[in-house]
Structure 1
């Protein structure tokens, strides 16, 4: 069904259409959380006045990319067809590993995400050991690379977009509903990306947890690329638990700092 036919079949009086739209929009937002985390961390390299622009350009590019992919829906479905076989490696069923273009993209994307997140962790560790003046100098040098940051955001957007689109294809058969859900979800993410970035970048320990989360996501993408089943529910549950513990630690540290701050005596 092409876009014109999909629009013609839209029935806004049909409750099922609204259920499909809301469900898909929610899933798109959930699948976009790791994308927002990466964008928040990578845009932190830029000067303050450029960070919001980089986030909006990155998410805007992701929206356009996903809409374009939805308009090429038949090509997307064809990405699942095997294009090469690796005889010496078996998948989780014991058969020879047959890779499709989707698998290859997930493999490359996972390796990139693991490598990039690991380098960011290393950079944060080095940055913490630098004097304030030297750190400011490094930040200024990196901050000029706006285009490099945007290109990295677009690259990761493309990787996450593939998973998002395949989810949409499996859930809804109307391209118009898919496009509406993608646009709504990306607008919501644009609105909240700044708040997420501020929270992550204000707390260094939360930033390290987010980077570790991206490493795990990269490993999951690699595993999916070689057809090794990984229970995402267990992984995400552990990550959610870690996040709750870290938020409690942040609250505890705030209370300890407040208790240790000497109170000035009130004048008589």
Structure 2
């Protein structure tokens, strides 16, 4: 059974507020993409596309978070490295360790990529090409696109949430 007493500690509330702040900051790119995608819909379907797309994206993110949470609770070592010892025992790697390691590498890559894109922004402004008109899409296409892209964009925030969470 889920122990609700964890919500009585200040550490839990600080972690929850930190995760909430990170979700807001890391979720801005999702909103921009949703706006761009739904702008390709006919005007009368844009509002509906945003609502359905956001609900679908929320559902996908919750599933992704549950799956990631399941993986990080797998703490039984899969393999050990005998020549590296911690507290006199060979260093073991569990699914949790591998998920957090891969997630950390991904976050470092993503951070470097974001810094590089900000630095290249000035060059792109100087070499601005005329805007290409995108073709219209259907409501199901927009919703599926929003759900898939939200899942891709949520990788960083889910990894951060799972890495910070202790429960």
Please tell me the TM-score bracket, short chain as reference. Answer: 0.5 to 0.7
Alpha-carbon separation, structure 2, partners of 1:54 and 1:79: 36
Quote the residue 2:71 is aligned against.
Answer: 75
Higher helix share: 1
State the 1:30 CA deviation.
0.7
Q: Choose 150-159 or 60-69, whichever is displaced more.
A: 60-69
State the 1:79 CA deviation.
8.7
Question: Cα–Cα, structure 1 residues 10 and 59, in superposed 2: closer, same or farther, change >3 Å?
Answer: farther
The 8 Å contact of residues 39 and 55 in structure 1, kept in 2 or not, is answered as: yes
CA RMSD of aligned residues (A): 3.4
Alpha-carbon separation, structure 2, partners of 1:10 and 1:57: 35
Quote the residue 1:152 is aligned against.
Answer: 145
- Per-residue CA shift, 1:85-109, capped at 9, x if unaligned? xxxxxxxxxxxxxx89x96xx99xx
State the 1:81 CA deviation.
4.2
Name structure 1 gaps, 5 residues minimum. 83-98, 111-120, 128-137, 175-268
1:1-268 equivalences under 5 Å are: 4-5=1-2, 8-72=3-67, 73-75=69-71, 78=95, 81=98, 125-127=131-133, 142-143=136-137, 145-174=138-167
Question: Cα–Cα, structure 1 residues 19 and 79, in superposed 2: closer, same or farther, change >3 Å?
Answer: closer
Give TM-score, length-normalised by structure 1.
Answer: 0.39
- Per-residue CA shift, 1:151-171, capped at 9, x if unaligned? 111111111122211100111
- Per-residue CA shift, 1:212-262, capped at 9, x if unaligned? xxxxxxxxxxxxxxxxxxxxxxxxxxxxxxxxxxxxxxxxxxxxxxxxxxx
Question: Cα–Cα, structure 1 residues 39 and 80, in superposed 2: closer, same or farther, change >3 Å?
Answer: farther
Alpha-carbon separation, structure 1, partners of 2:163 and 2:20: 14
Name structure 2 gaps, 5 residues minimum. 75-94, 114-127
Matched residue SS, 1:125: coil
- Per-residue CA shift, 1:98-141, capped at 9, x if unaligned? x89x96xx99xx9xxxxxxxxxx98x7244xxxxxxxxxx87xx
The 8 Å contact of residues 30 and 153 in structure 2, kept in 1 or not, is answered as: yes
